Amino acid sequence: MKSILSLLSPPTLKLDSTMAVSSPTTLRSPPFPSIAVAQQPKKSTPKRSSKTVETLYPIPPLTTNTTATPTTSTSSVPPKKVLVPIGFGTEEMEAVVLVDVLRRAGADVTLASVEPQLEVEASGGTRLVADTSIAACSDETFDLVALPGGMPGSARLRDSEILRKITSKQAEEKRLYSAICAAPAVTLLPWGLLRRKQTTCHPAFMDKLPTFWAVKSNIQVSGELTTSRGPGTSFEFAISLVEQLFGESVAKEIGELLLVHITADDNPRKEEFNEVEWAVKQTPHVLIPIANGSEEIEVITIVDILRRAKVDVVVASVEKSSQILASQGTKIIADKSISVASESIYDLIILPGGIAGAERLHKSKVLKKLLKEQESAGRMYGAICSSPAVLHKLGLLKGKRATGHPSVIPKLTNDVSSARVVIDGKIITSRGLATATDFSLAIVSKLFGHARARSVAEGLVFEYPRS
At 439, the amino acid letter reads: F
Helical ranges in 353-449 per DSSP H = 355-363, 365-376, 388-393, 436-448
Among the options 137, 181, 201, 385, which is catalytic?
A: 385
The answer to whether residue 181 is catalytic is no
Closest residue by Cα to residue 371 from 393, 352, 396: 396
Question: Residue 222: beta bridge partners?
Answer: 225
| Alpha-carbon separation of residue 121 from 27, 118, 131, 146, 334 (angstroms) | 36, 10, 14, 19, 11
At 337, the amino acid letter reads: S
Radius of gyration of the chain (CA): 21
Residues 380-391 as b or e (16 or more Cβ within 10 Å = b): bbbbbbbbbbbb
Decide if 223 contacts 197 (C-beta within 8 A): yes
- Those residues whose C-beta lies under 8 Å from the C-beta of residue 7, and which sit 6 or more positions away, are 389, 392, 393, 408, 411
Closest residue by Cα to residue 388 from 361, 363, 365, 370: 361
Question: Residue 317: beta bridge partners?
Answer: 290, 337
Separation CA 218–CA 237 (nearest Å): 8
Closest residue by Cα to residue 374 from 352, 403, 341, 404: 341
Closest residue by Cα to residue 415 from 430, 393, 437: 430
> Which residues participate in catalysis according to the annotation?
385
